Amino acid sequence: MYNSYEDIKNEYEKIRQRNSFIVSERRDKVYRDYPELREMDHKIFSMFVNIVKSRDDSDKAESFMQELERYKALRKDFLKEHGIEDNYREAQYTCKKCKDTGFVNGKKCSCYVEKEIEMYDNISNFRKYIVSDNFANLNMDYYRQEGYSDKYYNYMDRSIEEIKADIDDIDNKPFYYRFTGPPGTGKTFLSRCIGAEVLKHNKSVLYLNVTEYMDSLKPDHEGVSFKKYAILADLFILDDLGTEYSSEFSRTEINYIIDKRLNDRKSMIITSNLMTDALKHRYLASMCSRIDNLFKEYYLSGEDLRRNVNASIK
């Protein structure tokens, strides 16, 4: 179980140590069974060293080269004669793509991403929500409620198709959404549906209620601070913006994480019951400007979803 990046780093170190031990055991067993092979390997290594040392003396280097080729031929014949596979000294990797480093050409390996996703799930327990909150369980009939015209249904149908297209393109372009509307209209549900779909793209998701997030940042908080995870997750869902205790500290921290994710081009979703004017009275003007101009707003309306769960869940 991974609860921090340090846990993931330590796991890779354990994997490398374990595989190194396996190789050592395999090599030592071959040498115990065939001490002549150990001697030949030692001679071959010595010849390589001598060649390097003699790089300024071409005659001596040539002599060592010939000796090297002779030992290599003897070794090859010995392996064939005794049916020994020539891999007893080869490094062993659990992941051959990254050679158990977690990175390939400076980018996260798929094995690292899997560990990272598990870590984020342990932090916010997001997977427990998406058992029910996912697009497979989204019943579009909810948006055809009595008293609502087809205009709202068409708006939501088009919006969800746009969102799904953005998710499919997450590798190339981040998305920023703001879900607004009265309580109980499905803002949180829709944000979790998106998170569930993003996970299918092998991306990390951090889902937190804004109060939970802010509490973790307090100096006297004894648990884990979610700040660094909110910075690094592929998708950060900040739920119920505006329900947290309002203070200079909260305004500054929320402004920071929004600004940071925009600058780092990392996807983010904000859900809030507050409309634009209410946000402007509560938060920094610079933050409200970024939300207005860079977050795509989807307004959800209708009857309270919590009163009629079966209307939105098959």
Across residues 187-204, what is the average pLDDT?
95
Please report, for residues 95, 98, 117, 203, the alpha-carbon distance to residue 103 in angstroms, rounded to integers and kept in the order given. Answer: 10, 5, 15, 15
Q: What is the pLDDT confidence band of residue 285, given thresholds at 50, 70 and 90?
A: confident
Contact 205, 193 (CB under 8 A): no
What does the pLDDT average to over 297-310?
A: 68
Q: What is the mean pLDDT of residues 82-110?
A: 94
Place of tokens 């610079």: 286
Q: How many CA atoms lie within 13 A of 221 on its CB side?
A: 14
Tens-place pLDDT, residues 166-192? 999 999 999 999 999 988 889 999 999
Q: What is the pLDDT of residue 173?
A: 96
Q: What is the pLDDT of residue 177?
A: 97
Least confident of 133-137, 167-171, 278-282, 301-305: 301-305
pLDDT exceeds cutoff 50 at 299: yes
- Would you list the DSSP string of the chain? ---SHHHHHHHHHHHHHHHHHHHHHHHHHHHHH-HHHHHHHHHHHHHHHHHHHTTT-HHHHHHHHHHHHHHHHHHHHHHHHHT--TTTTS---S-TTTTTSSEETTEE-HHHHHHHHHHHHHHH-THHHHTTSSGGGB-GGGGG-TT--HHHHHHHHHHHHHHHHHHHTTTT---EEEEESSTTSSHHHHHHHHHHHHHHTT--EEEEEHHHHHHHHSTT--S---HHHHHHSSEEEEESTT-SPP-HHHHHHHHHHHHHHHHTT-EEEEEES--HHHHHHHS-HHHHHHHHHHSEEEE--SS-GGG-GGGTB-
Question: Taking Cα atoms as reference points, which of 115, 102, 126 lies closest to residue 4?
Answer: 115
Strand partners, 107: 104
Instruction: Give the tokens for residue 233.
Output: 């997750």
Q: What are 17-63's pLDDT values in tens digits?
A: 999 999 999 999 999 999 999 999 999 999 999 999 988 888 888 99
Place of tokens 């933050």: 287
Residue range 109-124: average pLDDT? 92
Residue with the bigger pLDDT between 25 and 223: it is 25
309 versus 95: which is more confidently predicted?
A: 95
Q: Which residue from 147, 130, 120, 135 is spatially nearest to 236, judged by alpha carbons?
A: 120
Percent of the chain at pLDDT exceeding 90: 69
Selected residue with higher pLDDT from 205 and 218: 205
Does residue 78 register a pLDDT over 50?
A: yes
Question: Which is more confidently placed, 281 or 166?
Answer: 166
**In the predicted model, is pLDDT for residue 209 greater than 70?**
yes
Tokens of 275: 């409309």
Q: What is the mean pLDDT of residues 300-311?
A: 59
Close Cβ partners of 144 (under 8 Å, ≥ 6 residues apart) = 150, 153
Q: Rounded distance, CA 311 to CA 314, Å?
A: 8
